[in-house]
Amino acid sequence: MKHKATILFVLVLCNACLANTITLKGGKIYRGKVIEKTSEMIRIETFNGEVNIPKALIGKYDKKKSPYELYMSKLGELEDKKPNAPAHYKLGMWCKKKKIWHKAKYHLKKALETSEKPGKAEKALKAVEKAWSRERKKSLLGFTLNVGIVTDMTREEIKKQAEMIKKVSRRLAETTGGLMYIKEAVFTDNSRTGDMLYDPNQGRSKVPGCGNNYSHGPGNWFVGCILHEFGHFKLGLADEYDTSIYGGRPASKVFCENCIMALKHDKGWCSSLNHKKGCLGNAPGCQERLIAAFGKRCPLLSQAFNYSKEEILYPPVTTITIIDTSPRSMK
């Protein structure tokens, strides 16, 4: 009986090693082709490059050929021949059927460039872009951001500050596979209420923390800092750095070096693959926290964190609404 249990355990391990679609315990999904396996790790090749996945983090696996593996097989067939417009068109339409949108667009563009009669490819390309947008829309999540400006500012001055929020929205989309963005930002001057506050007289040395109304000034009004705070008050994420440096909780002495929530403004959100053990943050990682919180509203989010740049379809630019009020002293 013990031998049967051992054999069953080995079979399970082997099946996991052969899996081409891997779902981590936190819900994040990798679709690709297994290219290496060890007793502790699986290396999988995806549209966004190679990833090493510790077996301890794997929740589910599917041995069926992934979209990536199917596509690479089709691409190999194309490259064995002399690629021409009809061949690219055929592969583009196959990609459309399999919902490999970025590759469908790529091959149809190739067909359009090389075809003597581009009308068919042009029509198909428009159909792909429309279907891709429709599919993505099911998971698109736009936020409304209310910004209170604590002093009086002119409409033109507010417009200048609002441009930064458009950049923040773009970065948010970039770090979530194009699914999350700031749909509208409402700026109200002479106001101390809102998701966040802006004080034009605040210097970098004066950065008071006050819950969701963390105050920004010219010194910290930049994409990384705003997105970090957005992670707190809109996404429900905790800090990934030693908060005692700002007079917060006791130091953990462990920092997550791959995350916006660790003040690494050029990074994205950490995941269970790079979240440091012992960090007093969002274990097993910010990405898993976001999948748990928003996965039902964003069904594609579990895959989108692994999108290549070509797979990201960016959402609309943020709509800016300005409420320019009179100072209270003038009322």
Residues 165 and 310 in one domain: yes
pLDDT score, position 7: 42
**Three-state secondary structure readout of the chain:** CHHHHHHHHHHHHHHHHCCCEEEECCCCEEECEEEEECCCEEEEEECCEEEEEEHHHEEEEECCCCHHHHHHHHHHHHHHCCCCHHHHHHHHHHHHHCCCHHHHHHHHHHHHHHCCCCHHHHHHHHHHHHHHHHHHHCCCEEEEEEEEECCCCCHHHHHHHHHHHHHHHHHHHHHCCCCEEEEEEEEEECCCCCCEEECCCCCCCCCCCCHHHCEECCCCCCHHHHHHHHHHHCCCCCCCCCHHHHCCCCCCCCCCCCCHHHCCCCCCCCCCCCCCCCCCCCCCCHHHHHHHHHCCCCCCHHHHCCCCHHHCCCCCCCEEEEECCCCHHHC
pLDDT score, position 209: 44
Query: Which residues, 6+ apart, have CB-to-CB distance to 306 below 8 Å?
Result: 28, 29, 30, 31, 46, 48, 51, 177
pLDDT band of residue 249 (cuts 50, 70, 90) is low
221: domain CATH number is: 3.40.390
pLDDT score, position 305: 96
Query: Span 40-60, mean pLDDT?
Result: 95
Query: Which residues, 6+ apart, have CB-to-CB distance to 246 below 8 Å?
Result: 209
The answer to whether residue 32 scores a pLDDT higher than 80 is: yes
Residues 127 and 203 in one domain: no
Residues 39 and 168 in one domain: no
Query: Span 257-274, mean pLDDT?
Result: 89
Residues 35 and 89 in one domain: no
Residues 146 and 295 in one domain: yes
pLDDT band of residue 247 (cuts 50, 70, 90) is low
Computed over every residue of the chain, the mean pLDDT equals 87
Residues 91 and 201 in one domain: no
pLDDT, tens digit (0-9, with 9 covering 90-100), for 64-96 = 899 999 999 999 998 887 778 999 999 999 999
In the chain, the number of structural domains is 3
Percent share of the chain, pLDDT over 70: 86
Query: Which residues, 6+ apart, have CB-to-CB distance to 190 below 8 Å?
Result: 149, 150, 151, 152, 325, 326, 327, 328
Residues 158 and 303 in one domain: yes
pLDDT score, position 213: 54
pLDDT score, position 273: 93
More confident residue, 163 or 192: 163
Query: Span 276-295, mean pLDDT?
Result: 89
Query: Span 122-127, mean pLDDT?
Result: 96
Highest mean pLDDT among 121-130, 206-215, 257-266: 121-130
pLDDT score, position 16: 42
Out of 42, 62, 82, a domain closes at 62
Q: What's the farthest any 2 CA atoms get from each other in the chain? A: 86
28: domain CATH number is: 2.30.30.100
Residues 177 and 275 in one domain: yes
Out of 137, 166, 186, a domain closes at 137
Query: Span 279-287, mean pLDDT?
Result: 86
pLDDT score, position 11: 42
Residues 163 and 312 in one domain: yes
Residues 111 and 145 in one domain: no
More confident residue, 191 or 204: 191
Cα 253 to Cα 244: distance, rounded to the nearest angstrom: 10
pLDDT, tens digit (0-9, with 9 covering 90-100), for 253-263 = 677 878 999 88
Residues 182 and 317 in one domain: yes
107: domain CATH number is: 1.25.40
pLDDT score, position 290: 97
Residues 171 and 298 in one domain: yes
Task: Give the domain extent around 200.
Answer: 141-330
The answer to whether residue 142 scores a pLDDT higher than 60 is: yes
pLDDT score, position 204: 52
pLDDT band of residue 100 (cuts 50, 70, 90) is very high
The answer to whether residue 8 scores a pLDDT higher than 50 is: no
Out of 111, 137, 163, a domain closes at 137
